Amino acid sequence: MSRFAYVNGRFVRHGEAVVHIEDRGYQLADGVYEVWAVFDGKLADAEGHFTRLWRSLDELRITHPMGQAALTFVLREAVRRNKVRDGLVYLQVTRGVARRDHAFPNPGVAPSMVITAKSVDRELAERKAAQGASVISVPENRWGRCDIKSIGLLPNALAKQAARERGAVEAWFVDELGLVTEGASSNAWIVDAEGNLRTRDANANILRGITRSTLFEVIREAGLPINEKPFTIAEAQGAREAFVTGAGTLVLPIVNIDGVKLGDGLPGPVATRLRRLYIQRAKEKAV
Ligand code: PDD
């Protein structure tokens, strides 16, 4: 099937889509990104991802490439042209193209923007979620602004590769206090020994996950106890359940941490229920 990408104002064939060699994204990782899950051809948690995109851009003083209405149109067009029913849309915005210099171009240049979309086999994803996934831990080695969804993802890529080489789907970063910060591309959660849902406070140098925020609403409506308190790997290994959240994984039960099986090694009832409730909510609210 032909795929199409949006590059700086137009849709082009995916195989022919190119950016300039002096784009600051390519040269300096000077840019941000966002990822929307797509359900039935519609964008999930749309507003939350837009709000975070504008914030990431503002924090880095990168000009907004376009307004929200226009961007919504282009994202939907990327979904439509790629015939994505269930999948993901990726957006990258960089500071633009300029002669190489670490400092910002002066005068400023127009930001660059790229959008791609891909399909996901949700039936396969459901089968995998029903089996549960494994994570490994790696030392936290990222910068102090993980609240910005920066395209500078080298530590995340290395962590994810380490996970893959050990048969795991995700790597959890662990800070110098021995506390889990988040995953390489997801937020980390446990259901602790007392039955409380636990995840790290989003003000503590992690990405404020949009899936995480929506799940907070779902959890409150379900009347489940929640505590924004970080946990150690040992606590997670002794927890009743664990799971990760993100646009790519939705709510994915974790059944093995650093080779230690959680409980009976099967996805727990809370994570399984939250996955179902999150997907239901995301589908209802998708636009
Ligand atoms: N990753 N933490 C990190 C480091 C992430 O990269 C992501 C998302 C999340 C979860 O955020 P959200 O719920 O808004 O997707 C947390 C995306 C999916 C990615 O890099 O592909």
Q: How does pLDDT run across 228-242, given as a tens digit for each residue?
A: 999 999 999 999 999
pLDDT more than 70, % of the chain: 100
- Dump pLDDT digits (tens) for 239-272: 999 999 999 999 999 999 999 999 999 999 999 9
| Catalytic residue status for 128 | no
Long-range contacts of 95-101 (CB under 8 A, 24+ apart): 95/24, 95/25, 95/30, 95/31, 95/60, 95/62, 96/23, 96/24, 97/20, 97/22, 97/23, 97/24, 98/22, 98/24, 99/22, 100/22, 100/27
| pLDDT value, residue 143 | 98
Question: For residue 267, how far is the Cα from the chain centroid?
Answer: 21
Q: What pLDDT score does 41 carry?
A: 98
Per-residue pLDDT band for 2 (boundaries 50, 70, 90) equals: confident
Contact (Cβ atoms closer than 8 angstroms) between residue 32 and residue 149: yes
The pLDDT tens digits for 82-119 are 999 999 999 999 999 999 999 999 999 999 999 999 99
Would you call the peptide bond into 105 cis, given omega within 30 degrees of 0 as the criterion?
no
Q: Whose CA is nearest to atom 4 of ligand 1?
A: 185
pTM summary value: 0.98
Catalytic residue among 83, 118, 128, 149: 149
Residue 6: predicted pLDDT:
98
* pLDDT beyond 80 at 278: yes
Residue of 207, 212, 251 to test ligand 1 pocket, by largest number of atoms within 8 Å of CB: 207
Those residues with Cβ within 8 angstroms of residue 259's Cβ, 6 or more apart along the chain or in another chain: none
- The yes-or-no verdict on residue 273 having pLDDT over 80 is yes
Residue 60 to residue 82: CA distance in whole angstroms: 31
pLDDT at 243: 98
Instruction: Answer whether 230 contacts ligand 1 (Cβ < 6 A).
Output: no
Report the nearest-CA residue for atom 16 of ligand 1: 186
Using CA atoms, how far apart are residues 100 and 85, in angstroms rounded to an integer?
Answer: 40
Q: What is the mean pLDDT of the chain?
A: 98
pLDDT of 1 higher than 90: no
State in Å: Cα 107 to ligand 1 middle: 33
Ligand 1: residue whose CA is nearest its atom 5: 185
Mean pLDDT of 178-188: 98
Instruction: Give 286's pLDDT tier (boundaries 50, 70, 90).
Output: very high
